[in-house]
């Protein structure tokens, strides 16, 4: 069990550029979540996948945000035309589908700084 892996750990970009983050979940986990966290706040839910299906995306912050999980394994989160307000920690979590005993395992996140 290598845990949830997120890359890169840090990303610095200029306003207006596109950025993409990658999340590799724990290998047998079929559920995958993305969160955003700003300083002093709890993680903010963005989107959720079950296998390759994106079952919840109403919380994505704007149409500049999109996520994919093409083969039901790794996932990517893309932010187009970045703004300074997008600066935050982006967290990924994965879990096994278990109705009553689900435990989310989080990665260490990607810290985005938009200059």
Partner 1 sequence: DAKTTQPTSMDCAEGRAANLPCNHSTISGNEYVYWYRQIHSQGPQYIIHGLKNNETNEMASLIITEDRKSSTLILPHATLRDTAVYYCIVRVAGANNLFFGTGTRLTVIP
Binding residues for partner 1 (CB under 8 A): 4, 33, 35, 40-45, 48, 50, 55-56, 59, 91, 93, 97-100, 102-109
Between 35 and 114, name the residue whose CB sits nearer to partner 1.
35
Between 64 and 105, name the residue whose CB sits nearer to partner 1.
105
Q: Is the dihedral of CA 26, 32, 36, 37 positive or negative?
A: negative
Whole-number Cα distances in Å, 64 to 10, 60, 67, 96? 20, 9, 10, 29
Between 72 and 80, name the residue whose CB sits nearer to partner 1.
72
């Amino acid at each position: 069990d290598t845990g949830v892996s997120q890359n890169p750990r840090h990303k610095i970009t200029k306003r207006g550029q596109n950025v993409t983050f990658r999340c590799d979940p724990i290998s047998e986990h079929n559920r995958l979540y993305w969160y955003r966290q700003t300083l002093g706040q709890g993680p903010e839910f963005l989107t959720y996948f079950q296998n390759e299906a994106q079952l919840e995306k109403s919380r994505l912050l704007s149409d500049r945000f999109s996520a994919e999980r093409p083969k039901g394994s790794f996932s990517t989160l893309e932010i187009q035309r970045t703004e300074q307000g997008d600066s935050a920690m982006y967290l990924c979590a994965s879990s096994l589908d278990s109705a009553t005993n689900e435990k989310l395992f989080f990665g260490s996140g990607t810290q985005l700084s938009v200059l």
